[in-house]
Structure 1
Amino acid sequence: MSQRPQKHSLTLKGHRTSVSLEPEFWDAFRKIAAAEDRPINDLAAEIDAARGADIGLASAIRVFVLQHFMTRQL
């Protein structure tokens, strides 16, 4: 069973922001960044730039993680 979301700070294009995600999503997000040999802040900035104004960053990260692993399973 998932734990409560954990808040972590990220730096996106020089600006600090905090994002709350469940530990499982943080772990998966870090694994994706490591596999791509990229800092997690760079990956988060890319997701931030691609999301719509009506979508929160935490939601965009969750969808990114889900899509990443779904495409690997198909």
Structure 2
Amino acid sequence: MSRPKKHSLTLGGHRTSVSLEDEFWQAFREIARAQGCGINELAAEIDAARGVEAGLATAIRLHVLGYYRARVANSKPPRTTSSQ
């Protein structure tokens, strides 16, 4: 696991810095690409949806986690039960 690295984002015309580990930055970029948008646009959507109790970095990490959890849940074959 890497140490958090600070990157600048532009949200609604305003610059802000967010510190995330390289693994989260990579996953965040992958998600933005998969959704056909840039990281600034995706960050702005996450920022608008987050509550006041969560910081932007936390909200991005939770978004990344939720995205990949949903992919795993949707790709699992249905469980079968044995009737023995």
TM-score, L = length of structure 2? 0.86
1:33 CA displacement: 0.3
Percent of pairs identical after alignment?
Answer: 64
Correspondences of 1:1-74 after superposition (within 5 Å): 2-74=1-73
The SS at the match of 1:7 is strand
User: Which blocks of at least 5 consecutive residues in structure 1 are unaligned?
Assistant: none
- Give the root-mean-square deviation of aligned CA atoms: 0.4
Which gives a bigger RCO, structure 1 or 2 (Cα 8 Å, sep 6+)?
A: 1
User: Which blocks of at least 5 consecutive residues in structure 2 are unaligned?
Assistant: 74-84
Matched length: 73
Structure 2: how far apart are the matches of 1:8 and 1:51?
A: 19
Q: Tell me which stretches of 4 or more aligned residues in structure 1 moved more than 3 Å.
A: none
| Counterpart AA for 2:44 | A
Q: Please say which structure displays the higher CA radius of gyration.
A: 2
